[in-house]
Amino acid sequence: MSITHPVRTDVVVVGAGFTGIYMVHKAHELGLSVVGIERGQGVGGTWYWNRYPGLRCDVESLDYSYSFSEEIQQEWTWTEKFPAQPDILAYLEFVANKLDVTKDFRFNTEVTGAQWNEQTSRWLVATSAGEIDTKYIVWGTGILSTPKIPNIPGMDTFEGELLNTATWPHAPVSFAGKKVAVLGTGSSGIQVIPIAAETAEHLYVLQRTPSYSLPARNRPLAPERVAEVKARYGDYRAEARSSMLGAVTETLDQPFSVMGEDLARSELERNYEYGSPMRFASAVVDTIADDDANAFVSAFAKAKIRSRVNDPAIADKLIPDYRIATRRLCIDTNYYETFNRENVTLVDLRDEELIAMTPTGFTTTAGEYEVDMFILATGFDAVTGTLSRLDIRGRGGASLKEKWSHSPSTYMGLAVAGFPNMFVATGPGSPAPLSNVVVSIETHVEWIAGMLARLEADHVTSFEATAESEQEWTAHVNEVSDSTLMRFSDSWYTGTNVAGKPRVNVVYLGGCAPYEARLKEIAAEGYRGFTLTT
């Protein structure tokens, strides 16, 4: 009988997206052995799986990229204001090759669970390709990595093409001459809908909750603009890192009560013309903090939607009735104008309920629709969904899934009491979901690397966030959220898009720069809030 021993390493990094690539590189720098695990066939993470036509990031490319290497940021050249998915994927492949980390990943490999061993103070990580015995584990599984699949009766009987924006096929998909339905009108739906409408015979947009969306005004990046930023990239990055959202927004930084309506309107107009959700949401700085400010900004955005739709009755259906920016503010290219086309029908699921899918289409309370293709753009079981599907067992066999089913609590959005030697990059309670996530990722990876260096130098065998520090941080995250209008948000920010999830804001709203300052203080104070065992 042959016995297979687990592979032994210092660090396991799960996920080969922005986090995993940088974390493996940092482990190398520290002289630690590292194994990366990735279920995809290559690097890219989010940008590997989501590849539907029209997908581009809503953070500007000059911001949405690593800042840690002057060589990389000088060598790579972005060509558009907002980067398209193939460009981001190519960028991540370029960086992974440049850092020589691709070889450290086991691709096509799924992690199924991880178990903390009290005797050895190490983790045993179970994967589809065998076990790995590791001192540390860093989850770089991202915030939007587990698609939410709606439970529509009859979905498995549909005989046409059933696609999901979050797991889009690698082979080209044609809409030409087909009757197509898109379910979901969040960021993903809003991007794929105008493209599908261009060639589909007919497009049905199934909308339950309208989104606020702004014209992206994507355009080629002028070479002079790229050169200008590259010439001062260090300062540009420092400005982004010292901001609330992790990106340069050029806001006046004034609350609505100080600005007054005229200035607020002209700032909104200026940022609307620029085209950027972060800039628009920062134009009136207390948009998600003050009801008057929010009402003014919401009214501005509603009027803009109305101006883009020919039929006032359809515009009424497309205009949201919730406070702007308490759900994700989207950007689009011709989204609202798509509803002016003859071949597009808005199916408002608030007027007619979706009952079932059939072999040839779908039925609602208003009737039957025949389609050849049905696209799910229904979002994600975000932030906690991926780790909650794994069997992760910490001290005393405690289950992370069970713990987070009550409240997704962490210390500083990256460590969990009862789960020693484990980091959750961009975890619940960090600013990541509402920030330029690359800045949030760099903040986490660099801080984790700093802590690993200290642990190794001091021969620490295990570290763990204390229950008190976790409670205090989670209470602070909730307190900040409750002081804003985000307390009214029904979305993946608060877990309400997935049945059975606790209603808790998973985003720390205190801002990127204050958050990073706090992390630095914790490190300077000898990792306050952690128990270190030597």
Q: Is 437 or 460 the residue whose CB approaches ligand N01 more closely?
A: 437
Q: What DSSP designation does 416 have?
A: -
**Residue selected from 20, 83, 142, 189 as contacting ligand N01 according to rule CB under 6 A:** 189
Instruction: Count the neighbouring beta carbons within 10 Å of the beta carbon of residue 149.
Output: 14
498 contributes a contact to ligand N01 by CB under 6 A:
no
Nearer to ligand N01, 209 or 466 (CB): 209
Please say which residue, 15 or 189, places its beta carbon nearer to ligand N01. 189
- Out of 185, 243, 440, 489, the only residue in the binding site for ligand N01 (CB under 6 A) is 185
**What b/e sequence results for 98-120 when a residue is b if at least 16 CB atoms lie within 10 Å of its CB, and e otherwise?**
bbebbebbbbebebebbebeeee
- Minimum distance, C-beta of residue 34 to ligand N01, in the bound complex (Å): 29
Binder to ligand N01 among 34, 57, 301, 519 (CB under 6 A)? 57
| Selection from 430, 443, 374, 449 nearest residue 206 by Cα | 374
Q: Which has the closest alpha carbon to 410: 394, 427, 391, 393?
A: 427
The DSSP secondary-structure symbol of 208 reads S
Q: Judged by CB under 6 A, does residue 183 bind ligand N01?
A: yes
Closest to ligand N01 by CB, 364 vs 421, is: 364
Decide if residue 275 touches ligand N01 (CB under 6 A): no
Q: Which of these ranges, 18-26, 186-194, 264-272, 444-452, lies near ligand N01 under the rule CB under 6 A?
A: 186-194
Contact 60, 245 (CB under 8 A): no
Amino acid at 63: D
CA geometry: angle 198, 199, 204, nearest 5 deg: 75
Report the residue number, 418 or 495, with the smaller CB distance to ligand N01.
Answer: 495
Applying CB under 6 A, does 328 fall inside the site for ligand N01? yes
Answer yes or no: are the C-beta atoms of 158 and 358 closer than 8 Å.
yes
**Rule CB under 6 A: is residue 153 a binding residue for ligand N01?**
no
Q: Does 95 bind ligand N01 (CB under 6 A)?
A: no
> CB-based contacts of 31: which residues, under 8 Å, 6+ apart?
none
- Residue 130 Cα distances to 127, 175, 392, angstroms: 5, 41, 16
The verdict on 494 binding ligand N01 (CB under 6 A) reads no
Task: Work out whether 142 is an interface residue with ligand N01 (CB under 6 A).
Answer: no
- Spatial contact of 430 and 246, defined as CB atoms under 8 Å apart: no
The CB-of-201 to ligand N01 minimum distance in angstroms stands at 23
CB of 521 to ligand N01, least distance (A): 29
- Residue selected from 36, 184, 385, 495 as contacting ligand N01 according to rule CB under 6 A: 184
Total residues interacting with ligand N01, rule: CB under 6 A: 23
Q: Does 401 bind ligand N01 (CB under 6 A)?
A: no
Residue 309 CB neighbour total at 10 angstroms: 20
Closest CB to ligand N01: residue number: 186
Rounded Cα–Cα distance for residues 230 and 406 (Å) = 46
Residue 248 vs 452, nearer CB to ligand N01 = 248
Distance CA 136, CA 122 (A): 7
Nearer to ligand N01 by C-beta: 109 or 191?
Answer: 191
Is residue 260 exposed (0-12), middle (13-18) or buried (19+ Cβ within 10 Å)?
exposed
Q: Which is nearer to ligand N01, 65 or 191 (CB)?
A: 191
Q: Does 317 bind ligand N01 (CB under 6 A)?
A: no
86, 130, 150, 526: residue in contact with ligand N01 (rule CB under 6 A)? 150
**Nearby residues of 110 by Cβ (< 8 Å), 6 or more positions away:** 37, 39, 127, 128
Closest approach of Cβ 191 to ligand N01, in Å?
Answer: 6
Backbone angles phi, psi at 51, to 5 degrees: -145, 35
Examine residue 492 and tell whether it contacts ligand N01 (CB under 6 A): yes
First to last CA, the chain: 38
- Please pick, from the candidates 30, 126, 349, 523, the single residue that binds ligand N01 as defined by CB under 6 A: 349
Site string for ligand N01, 360-399 (x = CB under 6 A): -----------------xxxx-------------------
Give the range of 15-23, 92-100, 130-138, 178-186 binding ligand N01 by CB under 6 A: 178-186
Q: Confirm or reject binding of residue 497 to ligand N01 (CB under 6 A).
A: yes
User: By C-beta, is 354 or 465 nearer to ligand N01?
Assistant: 354
CB 493 within 8 Å of CB 325: no
For residue 218, state whether it binds ligand N01 (rule: CB under 6 A): no
C-beta neighbour count of 162 within 10 angstroms: 13
Q: How far is CA 484 from CA 290, 436, 479, 510, in A?
A: 7, 20, 9, 10
Query: Closest approach of Cβ 433 to ligand N01, in Å?
Result: 7
Q: Which residues bind ligand N01 (CB under 6 A)?
A: 57-58, 144, 150, 183-189, 191, 208-209, 328, 349, 354, 377-380, 492, 497
